[in-house]
Amino acid sequence: MHIKTESIRIIAALLAVIMAISMFGACKLTEDEPDPAEETSAPNDPPISMVTETPEPTDVPVGTPWPENLEYDGTSVVMRCGDTEITMYDYGQAFYSSQYLQYYMYGMMSTEQYYNMVLDELSTLVYLVNEAKANGVELTEDEIVEVDTVIDQHLEQVLKSYAESIEEEGVDKDAEGRKQFEADLAEDGLTYDSFIRLAKNNLRLHKQAEKYYNTLIEQVKVSDDEVRKYVDDNSAAAAEYTVPDFVDAMNAYFEGNGAYPVYIVDDCFSVNHIYLAFETKVTSDNDIEYLTDSRKDDEAAVEAKLPELADFDAFMEYEKEIGEDPGMDEGSPYRENGYIIHPDMLDSYFEGFVYAAMNLHEGIWSPPPKEGEGSVAMPNLSYFELKDGEKVVKVCTESGVHYIIVNKEYKKGPVEYEIGDEIWESWRTAASESNAEELYERLIEEWNDKYVIDIDRATIKAKYAPEETDAPSGDDADNG
Domain residue spans of the chain: 9-220+426-476, 267-411
At 236, is the secondary structure helix, strand, or coil?
A: helix
Those residues with Cβ within 8 angstroms of residue 256's Cβ, 6 or more apart along the chain or in another chain = 333
| CA–CA gap between residue 428 and residue 417 (Å, rounded) | 13
Q: What is the pLDDT of residue 58?
A: 41
| CA–CA gap between residue 149 and residue 269 (Å, rounded) | 44
pLDDT at 28 over 90: no
Q: State how far the alpha carbon of 445 is from the alpha carbons of 124, 211, 440, 449, in Å.
A: 12, 21, 9, 6
Nearest to 233 by CA among 243, 222, 244: 222
Nearest to 356 by CA among 391, 381, 392: 381
Cβ pair 468, 115 in contact under 8 A: yes
Q: What is the pLDDT of residue 294?
A: 94
Q: State how far the alpha carbon of 18 is from the alpha carbons of 84, 128, 199, in Å.
A: 21, 19, 11
pLDDT at 37 over 70: no
C-alpha 189 chain-centroid distance? 31
pLDDT at 411 over 80: yes
Give 229-254 pLDDT, tens digit per residue. 999 999 999 999 999 999 999 999 99
Instruction: Give the side-chain half-sphere CA count within 13 A for 259.
Output: 21
Q: pLDDT band at 36, cuts 50/70/90? A: very low
Q: What is the pLDDT of residue 369?
A: 78
Q: What is the pLDDT of residue 375?
A: 62
- On average, the pLDDT of the chain sits at 83
Indicate the pTM of the whole model. Answer: 0.59
Q: What is the pLDDT of residue 372?
A: 66
pLDDT at 308 over 70: yes
Q: What is the pLDDT of residue 42?
A: 35
Q: What is the pLDDT of residue 139?
A: 96
C-alpha 252 chain-centroid distance? 11
Percent of the chain with pLDDT over 70: 83
Identity of residue 111: T
- Least confident segment among 92-106, 266-280, 341-355, 398-412: 92-106
pLDDT at 425 over 60: yes
Give 281-299 pLDDT, tens digit per residue. 988 888 889 999 999 999 9
Give 190-209 pLDDT, tens digit per residue. 899 999 999 999 999 999 99
pLDDT at 189 over 60: yes
Percent of the chain with pLDDT over 90: 60
Looking at mean pLDDT, say which of 32-41, 281-290, 325-334 comes out highest.
325-334
Q: pLDDT band at 374, cuts 50/70/90? A: low
Q: What is the pLDDT of residue 338?
A: 96
Over residues 331-344, the mean pLDDT reads 95
Angle formed by the axes of helices 224-239 and 422-450, nearest 10°:
100
